[in-house]
Chain A
């Protein structure tokens, strides 16, 4: 089994978000970066479990600059066998998907994992784009994956329920909660990660169909209005007359 896991690097969940003074780009100063939680906890761990059960290779792929190698080494410490870094700024979903597909098309992966979204740009776009580039089935928001030879059974979270489906490998899937349990890398994993192969690949060009204009911070809340705990009729009145939500 040959498995590709796409990992993205994002600001830590508690990071204070700020932008350059012209608002054109994200300001990384003082920000702690992590592996996108969906990629790490669910996609990567499930990929490792499948390899542990049936053999094979797990390749972790990141599109990003050399500074991302800390995150890539963490993926190796958690259990990926080898890693690939496409040496480019991950400027858009379209660009990242193009790089992943370009790399994957010569490699014949059985499974291509992503997280269900990244916690920075929240797009949920890359997986479907990769699948289309490679003409493969795509299962988004997958919370379960079981393999029986070449046949995969999956559960996919949909609004108000779960879809149970079957599909033959190869396929692309995005992983959601339920797929696996978070793993903390141990000392042995961290040591081994240092000597695992990390290949650097140049990017391919893409004519960007979407350009980023800039960023702003959302307007601050006016401040909380406190209501006396004895006065719940008053709260209901406010919600009806002032907020108009009931």
Chain B
């Protein structure tokens, strides 16, 4: 059986949970088995909806102690659930939560872990072979998990949530919940658009913007596309933009469907965080900018002319569609 941990930070299921269940259902199909979703916490509501994405059963450990995140407690509960339900494959998201618990589960369950996968595995005898992007997108590695229990964590935006079933009744699951050692004091959320790791469209700008006061044209384009904004490292370092917008090797790695790079040269460390984007558009006045080599579409021109024109064109398109 394939067990999917469907995360619900703050009691909410987000796209990541639907992606993981969709992926879990497909892995289960490959192995000729079923997909079960496990949900942690008392305040996670609407768990039955996970059935739509392919979970044939949804079990919930509805203990209020799980409403705050502690990797040690979560790993203890998930490994108990995996044993109780005799899971052969465990699937998590490669998110801040998943990264905190996947390694712990691997140790507890003596399981092989491949983290950050972006495609389906292939079964070969008792092994599971799976690929992932390594060297910050510069190569692809293939691994074989040979242990009886196998763990995969799924990169965000790698799989599209698909409706493949019906909502199901949520079954309670009783497993011991150890006391937490970490206490969460508060969660500060960044107001506004979809968080960068989850965003499908990202509008990003670099030093070519010249001055933080010029960002209005970037914001306008992002608003027209309902996109999230990002920036290059020097822009964040000089406090032109908040640090959470910094993408690249030392910032956040993202894989949106569409990445629009404005006035960014395309240094290798910048590309490391964005080269898994499905489609890249580069706007730069220098035809020799390295970013054009990694781009699908390019516009050679002055961003101060091109970006407002693109925004106009997007608005016209959105109004007509």
Contacts and interface: CB of A to CB of B under 8 A. Distances in A.
Overall SS of chain B's interface: mixed
A107 interface: no
Contacts of B136: 13, 119, 122
Nearest to B93: A159
Contacts of A245: 201, 257-258, 278-279
A213 B313 contact: no
Contacts of B106: 94, 125, 128-129, 132, 209
A27 B148 CA distance: 31
B135 A216 contact: no
A148 B279 CA distance: 48
Interface in A127-182: 127-133, 135-141, 153, 156-168, 177-178
B102 A37 contact: no
Contacts of A156: 96
A128 B96 contact: no
Q: Size band of the B side of the interface?
A: 35 or more
Interface in B175-217: 181-190, 194-195, 197-198, 201
Contacts, number: 273
Contact of A159 (B75, B95, B112, B306): B95
A48 to B, nearest CB: 19
Contacts of A121: 134-135, 141
Contact of B143 (A128, A211, A237): A211
A235 B301 CA distance: 14
Contacts of A111: none
A156 B187 CA distance: 9
A233 B313 contact: yes
Nearest to B195: A160
A235 B281 contact: yes
B278 A164 contact: no
Interface of B: 9, 16, 69-72, 75, 94-97, 99-104, 106-108, 110-116, 129, 132-147, 181-190, 194-195, 197-198, 201, 225, 243-244, 246, 249-251, 253, 257-258, 268-269, 272, 278-279, 281-282, 292-302, 305-306, 309-310, 312-314, 316-317, 321
Interface of A: 11, 13-14, 17, 19, 37-38, 41, 93-94, 97, 119-133, 135-141, 153, 156-168, 177-178, 208-218, 221-222, 224-230, 232-233, 235-240, 243, 245-246
Smallest CB-CB A-B distances: 3 pairs:
A128-B103, A160-B195, A229-B301
